[in-house]
Structure 1
């Protein structure tokens, strides 16, 4: 929701939704399908009526372009503070985005790159979800064929029998990937173009496959007709992919290892998009490929063997050379503890703090609303660990990973791409432990820029960019003097002017 700039209230355990009757009940309040509601995503308040709203002046100037900067004193003050902050901060600021409009919004707010592109979000657009579901439907049978073919080796008769036996799966699985390749390539081209040569970190497929399956009877029936299979087969697939604990199940790099063709397709789409975008725009494109949920260096190496092989193929085909970086998310404790091994293969680490918090604390983010507020109330935890990083636990694992990573690769790039990346307290911690950048949703970029500067000032920072650009001029005061005591300047401005 933050990434899309939408307000959201999550973890509201008292709400009861009746899908059949189209009602939502919370205490004595009942809402029906079609009723207007208004949501305050900051306070969590939900109002049972339509409240008139308007975009802020900042959004009108930077995003909608419906107001000129000269007409907004608020924007002028904002611009002054942001330019001042950029002179002091040492942390880079990136954004989490997987669509060109999200990227453009983030750039308008001052983002310097994309720290996380979730490729699975692209799979839900338009008709491509049908191709994804076609791939999933025949994936297990195709994997079985590959395993049996590997055992058959040079037994041509056996191989011919297997191809005949699994012919349907082979055809549909490869056909689905062939349809997805140009779609992914187009997505990446548009994203690279929107970023104008800025760094873009692309995460390979992460969620478990069952998340892409149709949920309702009508959706399942429609898919069965499109693929020419029975409804029961679609239903059976859902049961087959069910996992007791999907967050720790068949997802992330585990998918890419079992179904290596998926990783191959995504790598090919990335490289072809980078080559084409560079040709069209004349700007250098250096994609950063990120492998998710790595716990063993062997997992990362297996996936990178695929990436490097595809890179060589695309280089030869295009008769041109291109650069790219490879890295991984650090989101399970074993990855942090063995970071020295993983850094032998990875050129960058990005801390996926959402899952790292869950796996470290043994706590589900989706279910924690039942007890975390009580924990905070009685003092077990000072703050919500899913909003602000648990520095003693999760933070210590991050420090271990940084120490190990730098020992193996001194120039390793270090980032954070969980939602913690927009939290000021977490940003200060990231500054202290030596991260290269933080990545957050587009609309939190200004907060991150300011928080990064405040962190630098609190810890002995000096202007890092003075000399490259002139110090910003404060906006002119307006209005007549009243004799009243002037309000105190923002902390950042006071600290900066005191130097």
Structure 2
């Protein structure tokens, strides 16, 4: 029997994430729960693995299964790919078993071509919708499948809007959309040397292959490395009947979370746009409306949506991130997954779900990524300073925390600045998946456009980065690398501060204060203390570090590295004197200076730890670490110690050593 590489949504379930990917498994689960999900099928992660094993080619066997299952969804919905009488359009989306928002590729409206666009315009009596869908498909397919620059198409749109004297895409007429299609196709032919593909089956196979390929694009590789996702997993591909949010004013699309992903508050949180497609919401191109306003626009749809999201959260026993489309007043669910959330939200949600009886304490502890807790231990802005600080601009509080540093307008520049030891704030009109490395190293992220569910907001929350989104007060010139806030020009390299909890932007650096373990954090950690069997000690080399560790729950000092006690400016002179001594008498004098310092540190460590165990490693450092490295530093030290520069250089060289265990851990 041939291996099965393709599954209808109705053939799967939520437990099949390894094979169907997270998106495919959850779509299958929603169908099994009787929810309104458009028909579709999943090409499995095993097909992705086979693609790479087959020299990046989709085998004939897999191609046959794809077209066989395409026939099944055509029969189910009574439409046919490429047919001019009743055309079927589909979306093609990635779906790895671990959530990777924005890292891989999506194509919407596949199956449209010149003839289908014309017939759709006639069948729907809505030519604007038809040609809007066509131009979107050309843009996505050209970018994702053919590798043409997405901004080039945006420039074509901007040129036409300028010609027509309009500000928004939605103000372009049906004829304008038709003109965009013509200009997009002309650009495609100019760049590729042949006409835009018109065969829907060719479009489909090329798109599936592009999604497989995107598993190994640079941003996906970086995200996998950052989140410990194995490269061997591969991605599934979901092919789904299109439902359209851009057919008119009784259509729309949105993204929502069953709880606030920034704070954890138990309240439906999200955004929607009427007469739009899903990419418009997450890309931040148009500023969407808050989800609760859907209750005024379409009360029945909103009530149904609330009921579905409540059911999904109770079913998965976790906060859900959902995508939906409304076509002609009918609601369709396009995705559900466990939502990315900030560390503070993760703790509140975990504690609340236990209190609501949905989770046990053991289960709740496993819902929180330990890496996230680290972000709660970092400094926050001093509230007393914030009261008196002048707010330069205000955006949406997309991801909480204190973000501060030098402004950079391009991801690569931010990465380079951090490599030189700078703290940076990445500033963009809106972020895209290509900015992932810059976002990962930035202390904060500021965007001029986009909402609470935009790419910047979702990714920043997942990374634990402070983010202020949709800050319309900020005017950015990315090319010349400066921005203006209220008439004040801020150049690349100058400092700003972001308060991700309020959305406030401040010019300059604001002072911070140490974090504390309190509230939900304290309660959550008390559960961990109840259940754990492993004892935890700290690495601490100073009384201050020891007190901090004790405040965070350490049960002793597992390692005090005595060499770290001597790096402060008022101590390093004595250790250098000891290292550079030529006689036993000189060395004894230097040690006499060090002894009371070290004895005082040990006494203070013991006082702080109040009888808890303390393990001390005696001085065994690579001695060159205490000595200067640059010529200027060596000359200054030689002068202070009345030594010859050449002799000191020779001593520094002679003491250099490599650590054979550097980078290794063991018992």
Whether TM exceeds 0.5 here: the answer is no
> Which structure is higher in RCO with an 8 Å CA cutoff and minimum separation 6?
1
> In terms of Rg, which structure is larger?
2
Shorter-normalised TM range: 0.3 to 0.5
Q: TM-score, normalised by structure 2?
A: 0.25
- Name whichever structure is richer in strand by fraction: 2
- Name whichever structure is richer in helix by fraction: 1
